[in-house]
Amino acid sequence: MIVEMITGATPEEIDAVVQRAKSLELDVQLNLGTDKTVVAILGSNTGQLPTDTFAVLPGVESVTRVMKPYKLSSREFKAKDSLVTISGIEIGGKRVVVMAGPCAVESKEQLMEAARAVKEAGASILRGGAFKPRTSPFSFQGLEEVGLELLAQVREHFGIPVVTEVVDPHDVGLVAKYADVLQVGSRNMQNFALLTNIGKSKCPVVLKRGFSCTITEWLTAADYLLAEGNNQVILCERGIRTFEDSIRFSLDISAIPVIKRNSHLPVIVDPSHAAGHYSLVPAIAKAAVAAGADGLLIEVHPNPKEALVDGLQSLTPSAFARLMEELGSIAKSVGRYI
């Protein structure tokens, strides 16, 4: 942590910074510049120390972190890539894992048809929402436990693992009974009560990025899961909020190489929620694989025109099958397969 003093800071003010660092058992090195004094605070846990610790002291102009605020999810903490295994399917390895299915579970027929289509086209995991966090209280909120039961039936029938969202910290046990992977939605990335409970469950989890959270905040949220001993964490980039209005969220393609450099966790991409429109999904999905994503989470609906939720961003089974072929070729170009 680098503490920059104001021009003209007094020796007493500088000393107060030094004393506070020492009281926290941190090492200190003074840098007496011609204009300004800069105090370097050294120690392996300064990343977890709030910058306010020093910024509140008189004569301090600014405090800059050198260590990152996240720890357990960092590449420095664990150099080797983490693999997450779901019913024998490895995420984070050579295979680009595709999770696909409808936004919301609507009925047994709809889910069966979707599962058949995505499995045939080569998807490894079925997605489907039973609890739907909706921006308006007047929208369809999901089938809840009935939806979970349908997911379990379809999983059994097709032998395909399922991923589904959990929104209430007290539902973690319930959802984990039915699902192979839990999903934390974008709006819950910083729902710390939820993260803590999922951490305790040890169930594999897809942690979607908050649509206005930095990568640093995202990895710090992942620390909540890891700190409870759950190492089965998959990150999912799904678009961030920007000023651009031609798309629902701007997919942050650079998040993939940045995560690969700073973290050992696998990262997948959800092109559907970013795009908001089916016509943009294929280009984004292909870009994600080319950039090094470990997987994709794609919405596919047997009949998008009749979907209860987010039909506009869903691919039809035939569009999905075409996309899977193209993705296979791109995966090969970057030394992977689907």
Quote the least distance from Cβ 146 to a second copy, whole Å.
18
307 touches a second copy by CB under 8 A = yes
To the nearest whole angstrom, how small is the minimum distance from the Cβ of residue 185 to a second copy?
9
Site for a second copy in 83-112 (CB under 8 A): none
- Minimum Å distance from CB 157 to a second copy? 28
At residue 246's C-alpha, the angle toward residues 245 and 251, to 5°, is: 90
Q: Are 52 and 60 in contact (CB under 8 A)?
A: no
Q: Map residue 129 onto helix, strand or coil.
A: strand
Of residues 66, 58, 64, the one with CA closest to residue 6? 58
Out of 247, 319, 322, 336, name the contact with a second copy by CB under 8 A: 247
Comparing CB distances to a second copy, the nearer of 3 and 99 is 3
Please report, to the nearest 10 degrees, the dihedral formed by the alpha carbons of residues 268, 159, 230, 238 taken in order: 20
122 near a second copy, rule: CB under 8 A: no
Please report, as residue ranges, which positions from 123 to 142 form the binding site for a second copy (by CB under 8 A): 133-139
Q: How many residues bind a second copy (CB under 8 A)?
A: 107
What minimum distance in Å lies between the beta carbon of 335 and a second copy? 9
- Between CA 151 and CA 161 the distance in angstroms is 9
CA–CA separation, 129 vs 257, rounded Å? 29
Kindly state the tokens that stand for 108: 């047994």
Q: Which of 13, 69, 82, 144 binds a second copy (CB under 8 A)?
A: 69
**What is the x/- site pattern for a second copy, positions 315-334, by CB under 8 A?**
-----------x--xx-xxx
Task: Tell me which of 21, 150, 215, 298 binds a second copy, using CB under 8 A.
Answer: 215
Q: Angle at Cα 201 formed by Cα 199 and Cα 205, nearest 5°?
A: 65
Residues 160-199, one symbol each (x = binds a second copy by CB under 8 A, - = not), give -------xxxx----------------xx-xxxx--x---
Q: Which helix (H) or strand (E) holds 13?
A: helix 11-23
Give the residue carrying structure tokens 């629902």.
248
Within 217-246, the residues that bind a second copy by CB under 8 A are 217, 220-221, 223-224, 227, 240-246
Question: Do 126 and 147 form a contact (C-beta atoms < 8 A)?
Answer: no
